[in-house]
Structure 1
Amino acid sequence: MSIKISLELSDNDLSHFRELMRLAIEKIKNLPEQEVIKKAEDLCKQMENANIPDFVSQRLSSLKMLISALNDDEWQIPEDEKEEILTSIAYFCEPQDLIPDNIPGLGYLDDAIMIELVIQDMSLDLQAYESFCSFRSAEENRRGSQANVNRESWLTSTRSELRSGLRRNKSISGARKIFSRIM
């Protein structure tokens, strides 16, 4: 039997989490980028090896996706986006977080909440990266291992696809207008 528990974070609660994030960002400010990424990856591995509740594991995949975007050379993430993601994962580099991780069932609750807040903030980046990964996979399946897929080719293809859809929608809309005039 499962039970659903919903949490509503008040403005004060959110302020508290923002302060925790600000402190974490201060602590990592002088760390090299790769060390920040490594610490976040280590936490992910630690969480995978722990018996974490489903509500945490459901959010863990999004944190891993953000880390993958940072590590993916083909994605060619712009520096400003990279900085945003690095600061977003800062909290996960801090070994002493709000709730000690070794408390069974609840130890990763603060991590899950923080992941959820990060996901909400970075949702467009995650969607773009997931689309890129899908495109890359489709291109590799279509062209084989010789497929050269990078952010620019993905953007070019996506732009073309969006423009084609826009033209198609305009032509359908135009046909409807003509049809409505006839009726």
Structure 2
Amino acid sequence: MRMFHPTPTAQPLPFDHMYSGMGARETAAAIELNDAAVVQFDQLLHEIHADAPRVDTDRLEQLAAWLLKLPTQQAREVIESRLERVRELRTLLDDEDWDADEATHARIGKLLSYIDREDDLIADRIPVLGQLDDVLLIELAWPAFADEAEDYRDFIAYRDVNHPDGAADERRAAWVRERLDEVALWQHAMWVREQHYAPWNLPRGLFRVA
């Protein structure tokens, strides 16, 4: 059983329910998939996120068939909601207040480089399906970015409300201090709450009513 992995949206793509050997050949007229190009796509995915599920032609065709069956507006929302996560990653890289490590920069760079290509696995000009490969890459590679993206969103929320002073590293440090203070306060509240309960090893006669 595959363990839960974070996804870029609340509604994950149904990729986990698609299997090799069950290709949806009715999509062949809509997209032309080159098996060698699919292998390269899969290799790139695993360079970004080594634990991602494998992508092959059959599973990609099934996903394309699923997307084509959706109402047009819903299909657009599937695409756009994931591309919005890409815009967040671009902002993260460009924000001088945020200091992602080199490995994260490299992974995001590989993702963006693929998405910005015109000669990727599925031509972007194809209606509905043109960005399917882009959003699938985002979806399956997202665990490699999820923690960083969540921290960055939290930092942005803190910065927008508190407007911390100082240089970039000082603003990040102020955010970290506030979050650590919140954790300490929560831990103290839990400790106080536990004090309201009698220890398990108190003498039995202590609460006996005559």
Pairwise same-fold verdict (TM > 0.5): yes
Deviation string 1:34-91 (CA, Å, 9 cap, x unpaired) is xxxxxxxxxxxxxxxxxx8211101011111111111111112233332332233332
**Counterpart Cα distance in 1 of 2:154 and 2:20:** 33
Q: Partner of 1:30 in structure 2?
A: none
Cα 1:77–1:167, aligned 2, differ >3 Å: closer, same or farther? same
Alignment match, 1:155: 176
2:99 to 69, 76, 81: 76
State the identity %.
Answer: 21
> Matched residues in 1 for 2:116 and 2:198: separation?
57
Which residue of structure 2 lines up, in the alignment, with residue 170 of structure 1? 191
Greater share of residues in helix: 1
How many Å apart are 1:178 and its aligned residue? 5.5
Give me the whole-angstrom Cα distance separating, in 2, the residues matched to 1:78 and 1:166: 29
Given candidates 108, 113, 116, the residue that maps to 2:136 is 113
Given the superposition, is the C-alpha separation of residues 166 and 96 from structure 1 closer, same or farther in structure 2, using an over 3 Å criterion? same
Determine the C-alpha separation between the residues in 1 that align with 2:42 and 2:127. 25
Task: Give per-residue Cα distances to partners, 1:1-49, cap 9 Å, x unaligned.
Answer: xxxx83335589xx9443144799xxxxxxxxxxxxxxxxxxxxxxxxx
Please tell me the root mean square deviation across aligned C-alpha atoms, in Å.
3.3
**Contact 2:92–2:152, Cα closer than 8 Å, also in 1:** yes
Measured at CA, do residues 121 and 80 of structure 1 come closer, stay the same or move farther in structure 2, by a change above 3 Å?
A: closer
Displacement after TM superposition at 1:147 (Å):
4.0
Q: TM-score, normalised by structure 2?
A: 0.58
Residue correspondence of structure 1 range 13-162 to structure 2 within 5 A: 16=39, 17-21=41-45, 53-140=76-163, 147-148=165-166, 150-162=171-183
Q: Distance in 2 between matches of 1:174 and 1:91?
A: 55
Structure 1 alignment gaps of length 5 or more: 25-51, 141-145
Structure 2 unaligned runs (5+)? 1-12, 22-37, 49-74
1:98–1:110 Cα contact (<8 Å) kept = yes
Question: May I ask how many residue pairs the two structures share in their alignment?
Answer: 146
Q: Does 1:6 align with 2:6?
A: no
Between the two structures, name the one with larger relative contact order (CA 8 Å, sep ≥ 6).
2
Work out which of the two has the higher radius of gyration on C-alpha atoms and give 1 or 2.
Answer: 2
Query: Judging changes above 3 Å, is the alpha-carbon distance between structure 1 residues 6 and 150 closer, same or farther for their aligned structure 2 residues?
Result: same
- CA contact under 8 A between 1:62 and 1:119: conserved in structure 2? no
Work out whether residues 165 and 171 of structure 2, in 8 Å CA contact, stay in contact via their aligned partners in 1. no
1:93 shift after superposition: 3.3
